[in-house]
Structure 1
Amino acid sequence: MLVLIIISVLFPIVLAFNSSSMISFLQASNFRDSIYALELARSGIEGAIALIEQDDASYDSEDDKWAILLPMISVGEGVLNVRIEDEDRKINVNQLVKNNTVDRRMERHLRRLIERLGGNPDVVDALIDWIDADNEPTGTGGAEESFYREMGYSCKNGPLEVMDELFLIKGFDKELLVEKGLKDYLTIEPTDGRINVNTAPLEVLLDLHEELREGLCEEIVRKRDEVPFKKLTDVKEVIGFSESLYAKIAPFIKVNSTIFKIESSYSIGRMRKTVTAVVKREGDGVRIVSWRESL
């Protein structure tokens, strides 16, 4: 009987001690994996920057080493995955309003793209109002402080700082940005506003200018897939591309990229760490513009 009493008293104590020890062990293990994963994710960014630095900066295409989807690399007990994409393939929404003046060409570009995706092009009015400094609603779809006050926040009246800021703007809902895919064609990173014709999606090319017909844009894509455009005037070699059309769109296109977004993730067990960096190619080097690490 005495033995049973001792066991009944000691067993819960031992069990509690073992449980506490196991929790401490798991916490220490998770912390170790977290630090390890973060360091390897950071190393992926450094490797990607080296690829960009080694690349010929005079032109950029989907054939470049940085543009080719990198394989998932086994490192230690986990896997490293690195992805690089140039932002010059996209429309820079912050270029829509400069010095409180609307860029009408870019406005038309955005309207055509949104309409092509099945959205209401009048949402561009609200985007203009979000960026410009005045408090006067634009067009039929605009919205200023009085509208956003009812939503519980203020109108920005300045450039966007993160892409998810778009979800705050009147008309820019999940259906348009995600389901219809508009978000994939936009950027808020510091590009110069010109589109790289070697990497731009067909949808962006189609709406670059009202005279760029679908057949001609498809021919541009076919030509660049065969041989990338190495200088801007190479675009004139595309069948159907006239001198007059080239003169109209040349100021808004280019064949190289300067801004790149790098996403590097390392996974080990249940632990996953991601580092996202935006970098700018300048001369012979690459400068980090922004850096974000997952918690």
Structure 2
Amino acid sequence: MAEGMAAVRAGGNRPSEKSGHHPARRPRRGVPPRGPPLPRRPGRKRPSIRAKEPGREMTRRRENEKGIALLVTLLILVLIVALVYEIFRIGARSAQTGAYGRDSIRCALLAEAGTGAARIALRQDARDNSFDTLDEIWSRPAPPIELGDGEIRVVVEDEDRKIDLNRIMLSMGNAPDERRLAIFRRLLDTLAIDRAVADAVVDWLDNDDTPRVGGAESAYYLALPYPYRAKNDLFDTIGELRLVRGVTREAYEKLLPFVTAHSSGKVNLNTAPKEVLMSLSAGTDLDEVGAIDAKTADEIIEYRKDHPFTKTDEINNVSPFLRDLNNRTLLFKELADVRSTFFHVRSEGEVAGTIRTVDAVGARLGNEIQWRFWRLE
């Protein structure tokens, strides 16, 4: 009995030879039994993954590498072209700058040569004449002088034909010369400029900070939008007049041909313009009989055309009024002359469109010219 039961147990655990299937197994604890596999749909196949071809992949990689190399080559070529262009541009600019610098130096030398020519003409005139007129070699408009590929233009102007503003002040600088101040006021009247400009000029020149009526000192100038101080000293150039109170651009343009900062202090009767001659006065009264009016100034200019003054006493030959004025006063003896000492020389040098200018004022002392002002522009 026991042996039969053992055989049955042993036979129950073996697969059936006829069916070919295993007997049902006991399910494991905690794991659900697996159901039968799902049936496949007819007519549909599972897509197959195509194997990569090693040769084609290598060819594609090489083509990509060639494209990248070509792009890098083009980029390098562009950079080289840009670098070459920049080098040429900088070189062209340097060459242009160098050419301008070279031409600028040549222009400066030509301008200085022009002042040398003016000096020679003034020295020659001093040896030939004891008086100066507007019909001499230095006063005539000179044609341009061509020198190589450059050109020189020179203009010489007599500064003693003008009224010297620096002479308005006495030598100590603390008070004006009332007679010269009256002459300047007469010039302002002739040019229709406010007389208060004369007081402002005195305040600009004197050495104190007390303003005159109609004048201005540093307190006025420091209150301007662009402040500065009154100079309280002589004019170095007549351009400083533009800084003085009341001297507008229009007033400055009117005054410029008739005033100077460099002269002997005496007006040359042979070269003075009508406006300056009308400003001459024997005293300080602007309306006095001893002043030269427009008619008398025209008579002086007409007379000197054919009879240049060789000495101041020849003013007696112009009219009885001037003879009487000369005999009664010291006007022509102290404030007039027939010879000029100070000259303004403006010389331009030009090369290939570049222009440099020398602006100079020289004093002719004997046969020598001493430059009192020199500026290269």
**Counterpart residue number, 2:203:** 129
More moved, 59-68 vs 267-276: 267-276
**Counterpart residue number, 1:73:** 145
1:28 aligns with 2:98: yes
Q: Distance in 2 between matches of 1:238 and 1:169?
A: 38
Question: CA-to-partner distance for each residue in 1:65-111, whole Å, 9 max, x for gaps?
Answer: 11111111222223210010111001000111112231111111111
Amino acid at match of 2:180: M
Answer whether contact 2:315 2:322 (CA < 8 A) is retained.
Answer: no
Answer whether contact 1:264 1:276 (CA < 8 A) is retained.
Answer: yes
**Counterpart residue number, 2:357:** 274
Question: CA-to-partner distance for each residue in 1:109-157, whole Å, 9 max, x for gaps?
Answer: 1111112211111211111111112222223x12123212213222222
Answer whether contact 1:235 1:241 (CA < 8 A) is retained.
Answer: no
**Counterpart residue number, 2:221:** 148
Amino acid at match of 1:255: V
Secondary structure of 2:355's counterpart equals: strand
Pick from 217, 236, 260: which aligns with 2:316? Answer: 236
Aligned pairs for 1:1-295 within 5 A: 7-56=77-126, 57-98=129-170, 99=172, 100-139=174-213, 141-151=214-224, 152-178=227-253, 181-189=254-262, 191-209=263-281, 210-247=290-327, 248=329, 249-250=331-332, 251-294=334-377
Q: Distance in 2 between matches of 1:5 and 1:138?
A: 77
Secondary structure of 1:264's counterpart equals: strand
Greater relative CO (CA pairs within 8 A, separation 6+): 1
Question: CA-to-partner distance for each residue in 1:194-231, whole Å, 9 max, x for gaps?
Answer: 10011111100011125312111101111112232122
Q: Distance in 2 between matches of 1:63 and 1:199?
A: 9
Q: Distance in 2 between matches of 1:172 and 1:5?
A: 66
Question: CA-to-partner distance for each residue in 1:44-82, whole Å, 9 max, x for gaps?
Answer: 001100000000352111011111111112222232100
Answer whether contact 1:38 1:274 (CA < 8 A) is retained.
Answer: yes
Secondary structure of 1:88's counterpart equals: helix
More moved, 242-251 vs 109-118: 242-251
Question: CA-to-partner distance for each residue in 1:3-27, whole Å, 9 max, x for gaps?
Answer: 8666534322221121122112111
Answer whether contact 2:341 2:365 (CA < 8 A) is retained.
Answer: yes
Higher strand share: 1
Q: Distance in 2 between matches of 1:129 and 1:24?
A: 51
More moved, 151-160 vs 25-34: 151-160
Q: Distance in 1 between matches of 2:119 and 2:163?
A: 23
Identity %: 32
Q: Distance in 1 between matches of 2:346 and 2:277?
A: 25
Note the residue ranges of structure 1 that are not aligned, 5 or more in a row.
none
More moved, 74-83 vs 259-268: 74-83
RMSD of aligned C-alpha atoms?
Answer: 1.8
Secondary structure of 1:123's counterpart equals: helix
Report the Cα offset of residue 160 of structure 1.
1.4
Question: CA-to-partner distance for each residue in 1:228-248, whole Å, 9 max, x for gaps?
Answer: 212222221113444321132
Amino acid at match of 2:220: F
Secondary structure of 2:276's counterpart equals: helix
Q: Distance in 2 between matches of 1:240 and 1:211?
A: 14
Amino acid at match of 2:234: P
Amino acid at match of 2:302: R
Q: Distance in 2 between matches of 1:4 and 1:20?
A: 24
Answer whether contact 2:110 2:151 (CA < 8 A) is retained.
Answer: no
Secondary structure of 2:161's counterpart equals: coil
Q: Distance in 2 between matches of 1:5 and 1:128?
A: 74
Q: Distance in 1 between matches of 2:268 and 2:76?
A: 78
Q: Distance in 1 between matches of 2:339 and 2:295?
A: 23
Relative to structure 1, is the Cα distance of residues 158 and 6 closer, same or farther in structure 2, using a 3 angstrom cutoff?
closer
